[in-house]
Amino acid sequence: MSNEGINKKLRPKEIENEIDERGAFVRQKNHFVTPFGEGEKDLKAQKGRYRLIWAKGCHWSNRASIVRELLGLEEAIGINLVGHSKENAAYGWEFVYNEDRMDPVLQIQFLSEAYYNADPDYTGRCTVPALVDVTTKKVVNNDYHRLTNYLETAFRPFQKENAPDLYPVELREEIDAFNDWLFPNVNNATYRMMFAQSLIAYEEAFEDFYHALDTIEERLSNNRFLFGDYVTDSDIRLFVTLARFDTHYYRNIGPIKQRVQDYKNIWDYCKDLYEIEAFKNNTYFKSFSKPIDIREGIFQPYATRFYDQIDYDKLWSTPQSRKILSKTPDEKFLRQK
């Protein structure tokens, strides 16, 4: 389709713009970080005002899609998926799943249009998740660090009855501290490895990642979930990275120390979470495990050879016995009072 008249720019490349002098990947800062709250300049939670844009392969945005469903915010916050087309990949996220590649509510083809509507001078990558104001067609928040917390707190009036309390007041300080540790050592460590342009930077990220997994494996030996008997915001942040490691990230990392499946506690923990419908519904294994380039010849990548043979849903649904660690074995959530 024609792109004439569309406000679009070439997508900046991480290895050209986000690598420091040591060859280490330094992720760009989020640009639209105005919080939701009661302050005069804060964003206000309103039913039907916002649309969540996310991508199947992006774990930063996958967090928000899981939380939205867990909390029953489907009627309060609209949603749509973006992806990449071969002919327009250079322009970033596109509404490839929609007719004419146009979001039916926002009437835009590229997510970048909502970014430039909000800031015509924006020069960074146009990332997901992006929360877009449907009345202005402008991105109002792309802060993946805090977006799930806003859904958990500011949007509470619109949550379903008896919704899970994923961010309990009494645990917020601990959850925030854990999430601050999780970001560099697990969530972003995979990208630190994949985008590293020096062996020193790569090895630092490698060691950070596997040391963190060892720490988490030990933590989960006595806890069903990261903070005990109930799923919290932190579990969602960890799950979305782990779900992509054996299926996608490993291809760009090089020799790996261990697979997620090789950690007894972590692997069973992942499967325990995958039993929850909101996790299963928002985890598109076949999409992000799909081979990027299919080469001809004798030697083909593992993902190419076995793509049609691996049943991820069956694999992630094999039995586990994590409930024995819980005082409430049949209840995975602390419910709102």
Residue with tokens 């915010």: 73
274 carries an active-site annotation: no
Among residues 58, 91, 116, 269, the one annotated as catalytic is: 58
Same domain, 24 and 143: yes
Q: What secondary structure does DSSP assign to 77-92, as a single string?
A: EEEEE-B--TTTGGG-
191 carries an active-site annotation: yes
Residue 294 belongs to domain spanning = 169-325
Among residues 144, 191, 230, 274, the one annotated as catalytic is: 191
Give the model confidence (pLDDT) of 115-163 as tens digits. Answer: 999 999 999 999 999 999 999 999 999 999 999 999 999 999 999 999 9
Same domain, 218 and 291: yes
Tens-binned pLDDT, residue by residue, of the chain (337 aa): 445 556 678 899 998 999 999 999 999 999 999 999 999 999 999 999 999 999 999 999 999 999 999 999 999 999 999 999 989 999 999 999 999 999 999 999 999 999 999 999 999 999 999 999 999 999 999 999 999 999 999 999 999 999 999 999 999 999 999 999 999 999 999 999 999 999 999 999 999 999 999 999 999 999 999 999 999 999 999 999 999 999 999 988 988 999 999 999 999 999 999 999 999 999 999 999 987 666 667 778 788 889 999 999 999 999 999 999 999 999 999 998 7
Same domain, 24 and 135: yes
Same domain, 239 and 107: no
Q: For the chain, how far is it from start to end, CA to CA, in angstroms?
A: 51
Same domain, 125 and 179: no
Same domain, 219 and 300: yes
Check residue 318 and give its pLDDT.
Answer: 98
At which of 132, 158, 184 does a domain end?
A: 158
Number of domains in the chain: 2
At which of 95, 125, 158 does a domain end?
A: 158
Give the model confidence (pLDDT) of 187-215 as tens digits. Answer: 999 999 999 999 999 999 999 999 999 99
Task: Let me know the angle formed at the C-alpha of 212 by 209 and 215, rounded to the nearest 5 degrees.
Answer: 155
The DSSP element (H or E) to which 132 belongs, if any, is strand 130-133
Q: How many CB atoms lie within 10 A of CB 208?
A: 17
**Is 163 a member of any domain?**
no
Same domain, 192 and 276: yes
Same domain, 121 and 51: yes
**Angstrom distance (rounded) from CA 318 to CA 271:** 7
Buried b (16+ CB within 10 A) or exposed e, 93-119: bbbeeeeebebeebebbbbbbbbbbbe
Distant-in-sequence contacts of 206-211, Cβ < 8 A, 24+ apart: 206/253, 206/257, 208/184, 209/185, 210/257, 210/258, 211/185
* Residues β-bridged to residue 54: 81
